[in-house]
Amino acid sequence: MAMIETANLTRKYGELTALDNLNLVIEEGTCFGFIGPNGAGKTTTIKILATLLKPTWGEARVDGHVVGYQNHLIRPIIGYVPDFLGAYEDMLVCEYLEFFAACYGIHGDKRTKVVGEVLELTDLISKRTADVNGLSRGMQQRLSVARVLLHDPKVLLMDEPSSGLDPRARIEMRELLKELRRMGKTILISSHILFELSELCTAVGIVEQGKLVYSGGVKEMIAKAGGGSIVHVVVDDRHQEAAALLKGVGGILKVTMEREEKAIRIEVTIDPKSGMSVSDIPSRLIAQGFRIARFSQEQVNIETAFMRLTKGMVS
């Protein structure tokens, strides 16, 4: 069952088209990574789904309800986590959560119970009486997640939840999101940390210049980008000549020089028609009198696939 759907979703700001006929389907229980350069339309999409923006035309649905017409049915089932935490001054963590619980119509003993449960889930029990504005960036992001879990929403819309976090806080946030995924939440998360999304998400979507470039599984995304391997080669001398020799060889997509140790970076595609394999690279160089000092290979990952599928354009 589709939990989130958009049909020709378009949003204009004057002459600027932030979203251009976006057609997206996210199934129930999916953790969906939304990726793209700054200005691609990710935040605009999330704000429309969160009922904070109206589309210029097209349609967006959350659990079958139409954004703009049935917002009163959508808001109780979603939780929106922006990339920053807004709070009144001099609020304690418990006061902050109790305030929002009251806004959701949770009162009395139930409110106390729910606040305690989300504090425990987000590992914020020890910060219960801490000042919200005195929390670290990582703690504030966890508090932002705790806030949207108070009413147990079906859908979480998360805009750069790991932005600005230190490595430890980022790992803790990732583990929290994995727990929410295990709980069956449908999660739409935008992020620039692609490796993190490949570990966390069951599907990804790439948006560029307001258009959907790709939507589907991570493995399928890598296959669409040509798959293959990244090879790093260091020769003793004549580095530029070695790089020139490899350029234009069938099956080799790209050859670039790396600064470190004057290594040559080679992108090799998986294409049976080319007849090229990774093992052919050193033999070609050796046959031309080059001495290889170092040779290493890595598989194409989500970052390389993203670079191949996008052009770096923004709306």
From residue 66, give the alpha-carbon distance in Å to each of 9, 11, 28, 42, 54: 12, 16, 16, 19, 11
Question: pTM surpassing 0.95?
Answer: no
**Nearest residue to 12 via CA among 55, 48, 45:** 55
Pairing of strands 31-35, 186-190: parallel
The C-alpha atoms of residue 52 and residue 56 are separated, in whole angstroms, by 13
CB 124 within 8 A of CB 139: yes
Query: Tens digits of per-residue pLDDT, 36-64?
Result: 888 889 999 999 999 999 999 999 999 99
CB 185 within 8 A of CB 154: yes
CB 38 within 8 A of CB 163: no
How big is the CA angle at 189 (ends 187 and 192), to the nearest 5 degrees? 160
Q: Where in the chain is the domain with CATH 3.40.50.300?
A: 2-223
What tens-digit pLDDT sequence spans the chain (315 residues)?
A: 899 999 999 999 998 999 999 999 999 999 999 998 888 899 999 999 999 999 999 999 999 999 999 999 999 999 999 877 777 778 999 999 999 999 999 999 999 999 999 999 999 999 999 999 899 988 999 999 999 999 999 999 999 888 778 888 888 888 999 999 999 999 999 987 787 788 889 899 999 989 999 999 988 887 777 767 788 888 888 888 888 888 877 778 788 887 765 788 887 775 555 556 777 888 888 988 989 988 888 777 788 788 878 876 555
- CATH code of the domain made up of 2-223: 3.40.50.300
Residue found by looking up tokens 């917002």 in the block: 71
Residue ranges of E strands in the chain: 2-13, 16-27, 31-35, 57-62, 65-66, 78-81, 155-159, 186-190, 203-208, 211-216, 229-235, 252-257, 264-268, 292-299
The C-alpha atoms of residue 92 and residue 107 are separated, in whole angstroms, by 18
Terminal CA-CA length for the chain: 31
The C-alpha atoms of residue 254 and residue 243 are separated, in whole angstroms, by 10
Query: Tens digits of per-residue pLDDT, 254-291?
Result: 888 877 657 888 877 755 555 567 778 888 889 889 89
**Nearest residue to 217 via CA among 202, 227, 232, 234:** 202
From residue 84, give the alpha-carbon distance in Å to each of 137, 138, 158: 9, 11, 11
CB 26 within 8 A of CB 63: no
CB 46 within 8 A of CB 34: yes
φ and ψ of 290, to 5 deg: -85, 145
The C-alpha atoms of residue 113 and residue 178 are separated, in whole angstroms, by 23
Handedness of CA 308, 40, 55, 15 (dihedral sign): negative
CATH topology assigned to domain 228-299: Alpha-Beta Plaits (3.30.70)
Q: Where in the chain is the domain with CATH 3.30.70.100?
A: 228-299
